[in-house]
């Protein structure tokens, strides 16, 4: 039985990855931070099939203990401060979690289980203001937020430990991936949740920032398959994962509102408070390497994804009413 350690298992993507690995017969360990109230909603349905270990990316000793206790064949480092706007409010904390945290995790593996395969959750935000479109593994990084800068560090320390210590380390450079489990502050979920609230008479407007920003949005359930495939190859490498399609926030609103029989222009208002100090205007993936080497491709379209999220939010709020 293969053993995997997932950091960030309580997060959106960690929960899908845990499900996938449980289904594949892995013994799954998840690193969780201590909290005064348990926040296990996303993994509540598989809690009896996984083992949770307390630890924090800020605490080296707890990571060493987690690797020692789990003795993993594979480590998936998904934990991070992942919300871009927060990275301007808490830039130092973001760097501690999202960059130095990666080094702490790598050190724990190097000391306790050097042959474990390692996945680092790198991000398309590293490309930021790049001129090149679409972006692939050779595109130059130009991050536009403290989060993006922190992820560039995480990317390079992962490469560096591969080159310095011959460790099996992979970077997945993932473009935005969403689902009904996405955090409520990210734009897709903010929109689908607002559509559900408006439809059920619980709200009458939605305040958003830059409607012209464009992203390559895919389904998190598809992307965890690519993550797993990266660690099943003979050699460690880095891969860009995305759909290859780009849509604006405005298009996102059109799709979500019209699916519920509403016109977004009647409800959406622009509030400059949601603008960012430096914006990433557009991102689109060229994931031809992953498609060729890993045999991976997305299965859920943009429209299907947004409709799935609207359905899930309506269902959830109906049950709460
Ligand atoms: P998410 O929902 O925000 O989950 C983040 C996870 O990290 C949570 O489980 C959180 O635990 C944990 N965490 C945060 N700080 C920690 C710390 N100091 N010690 C231990 N755990 C900590 O993020 P996601 O969307 O699943 O994304 C997963 C990873 O992929 C992140 O690294 C993100 O930056 C990266 N990424 C995401 C996307 C995307 O579009 N989703 C794209 C590219 C890369 P709590 O539950 O305790 O808060
Ligand atoms: O913003 C615009 C905003 O916060 C997307 C993280 O998972 O993906 C995510 O980062 C776009 C931006 O995601 C609102 O300005 C307009 O251009 O959903 P988001 P993100 O910043 O792209 C990457 C790949 C990650 O790695 C990150 O961890 O939408 N936008 N109005 C808005 N965004 C938000 N959040 N709220 C608004 O009201």
101-116: pLDDT as tens digits:
999 999 999 999 999 9
Distance 13 CA to ligand 2 centre (A): 16
Residues 7 and 149 in one domain: yes
**Mean pLDDT within 153-174:** 98
* CA distances from residue 33 to 19, 37, 40, 58 in whole angstroms, order as listed: 20, 11, 11, 10
Same domain, yes or no, for 80 and 95? yes
Q: Give me the pLDDT at residue 207, please.
A: 98
Catalytically annotated residue among 62, 82, 119, 125:
125
Whether residue 32 is contained in a domain is answered as yes
List residues near ligand 1 (CB under 6 A): 7-8, 10-14, 31, 33, 39, 56-58, 78-82, 97, 121, 123, 174, 176-177, 183
Residues with CB under 6 A from ligand 2: 82, 84, 123-125, 175-176, 185-187, 190, 208-210, 213, 215, 249, 274, 276, 279-280
- Do residues 10 and 94 both lie within one domain? yes
| Mutational pocket test of ligand 2: of 249, 250, 253, the residue with most ligand atoms within 8 Å of the beta carbon | 249
Q: What is the pLDDT of residue 264?
A: 98
Considering the domain boundaries, does residue 76 fall inside one?
Answer: yes
> What does the pLDDT read at residue 8?
98
Whether 294 is covered by a domain: the verdict is no
**Could you tell me the distance, in angstroms and rounded to a whole number, from the CA of residue 53 to the centre of ligand 2?**
30
The active-site residue, picked from 70, 82, 122, 123, is 123
| Mean model confidence pLDDT for the chain | 98
Clarify whether 147 is annotated catalytic.
Answer: yes
Residue 107 and residue 31 share a domain: yes
- Supply the pLDDT for residue 54: 97
Burial of 75-100, coded b for 16+ CB within 10 Å and e otherwise, reads bbbbbbbbebebbeeebeebbbbbbb
Q: Residues 206, 276: one domain?
A: yes
The C-alpha atoms of residue 299 and residue 195 are separated, in whole angstroms, by 24
Read off the CATH number of the domain in which 273 is found: 3.90.25.10
Give, as one character, the DSSP assignment of residue 100: I
Burial readout 27-61 (b: 16 or more C-beta within 10 A, e: otherwise): bbbbbbeeeeeeebebbeebeeebebbebbbeebe
Whether residue 107 is contained in a domain is answered as yes
In a domain, 286, yes or no: no
Arithmetic mean of pLDDT, 58-87 = 98
Within-domain flag for 289: no
Whether residue 287 is contained in a domain is answered as: no
Q: Is the pLDDT of residue 321 over 80?
A: no
pLDDT of residue 65 exceeding 90: yes
Q: Note whether 118 and 201 are same-domain residues.
A: no
pLDDT at residue number 254: 98
- pLDDT of residue 177 exceeding 80, the answer is yes
pLDDT number for residue 319:
86
Interval 287-302 mean pLDDT: 98
Q: Are residues 115 and 236 in the same domain?
A: yes
211 and 69 in one domain? no
Q: Which atom of ligand 2 is nearest to the CA of 151?
A: 26
Q: Name the domain count of the chain.
A: 2
pLDDT digits (tens, 9 = 90+) for 248-286: 999 999 999 999 999 999 999 999 999 999 999 999 999
Give the alpha-carbon dihedral of 188, 193, 198, 204, to 10 degrees.
-70
Has residue 38 got a pLDDT over 90? no
- pLDDT at residue 14, rounded to an integer: 98
Choose which residue among 78, 155, 179, 184 to substitute to test ligand 1 binding: the one with the highest number of ligand atoms within 8 A of its C-beta. Answer: 78
Q: What is the pLDDT of residue 60?
A: 98
| Shared-domain flag, residues 163 and 190 | no
Stretch 19-34: mean pLDDT, rounded? 97
Residues 152 and 209 in one domain: no
Same domain, 14 and 108: yes
CB 9 within 8 A of CB 30: yes
pLDDT over 90 (residue 320): no
Q: For residues 51-58, give the mean pLDDT.
A: 98
Percent of the chain at pLDDT exceeding 90: 98
293 occurs within a structural domain: no
Residue span of the structural domain in which 197 resides: 184-215+246-281+301-320
Statement to judge: residues 153 and 255 lie in one domain? no
DSSP 114: T
Q: Measured on CA atoms in the order 193, 198, 204, 205, is the torsion positive or negative?
A: positive
Q: Domain holding 93: CATH number?
A: 3.40.50.720
- What pLDDT is stored for residue 39 in this prediction? 84
pLDDT at res. 276: 98
pLDDT of residue 49: 98
Nearest CA among 170, 151, 121, 175 for reference residue 298: 175
Helix (H) or strand (E) holding 304: helix 302-320
């Amino acid at each position: 039985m293969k053993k995997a350690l997932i950091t960030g298992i309580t997060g959106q993507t960690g929960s899908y990855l845990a499900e996938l690995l449980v289904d594949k017969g892995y013994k799954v360990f998840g690193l969780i931070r201590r909290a005064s109230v348990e926040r296990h909603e996303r993994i509540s349905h598989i809690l009896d099939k996984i083992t949770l270990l307390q630890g924090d990316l800020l605490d080296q000793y707890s990571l060493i203990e987690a690797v020692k206790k789990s003795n993993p064949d594979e480590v998936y480092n998904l934990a991070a401060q992942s919300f871009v706007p927060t990275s301007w409010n808490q830039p130092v904390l973001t760097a501690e979690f999202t960059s130095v945290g990666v080094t702490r995790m790598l050190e724990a593996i190097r000391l306790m289980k050097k042959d474990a395969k390692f996945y680092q959750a790198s991000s398309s935000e590293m490309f930021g203001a790049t001129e090149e479109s679409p972006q692939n593994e050779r595109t130059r990084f130009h991050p536009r937020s403290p989060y993006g800068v922190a992820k560039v560090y995480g990317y390079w320390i992962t490469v560096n430990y591969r080159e310095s210590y011959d460790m099996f380390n992979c970077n997945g450079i993932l473009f935005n991936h969403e689902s009904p489990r996405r955090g409520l502050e990210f734009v897709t979920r903010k929109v689908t949740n607002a559509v559900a609230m408006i439809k059920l008479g619980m709200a009458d407007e939605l305040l958003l920032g830059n409607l012209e920003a464009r992203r390559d949005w895919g389904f998190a359930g598809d992307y965890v398959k690519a993550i797993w495939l990266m660690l099943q190859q003979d050699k460690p490498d880095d891969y860009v994962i995305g759909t290859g399609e780009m849509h604006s926030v405005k298009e996102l609103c059109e799709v979500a509102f019209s699916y519920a029989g509403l016109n977004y222009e009647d409800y959406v208002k622009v509030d400059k408070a949601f603008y960012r100090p430096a914006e990433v205007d557009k991102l689109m993936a060229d994931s031809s390497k992953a498609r060729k080497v890993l045999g991976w491709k997305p299965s859920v379209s943009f429209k299907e994804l947004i409709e799935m999220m609207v359905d899930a939010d309506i269902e959830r709020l109906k049950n709460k009413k």
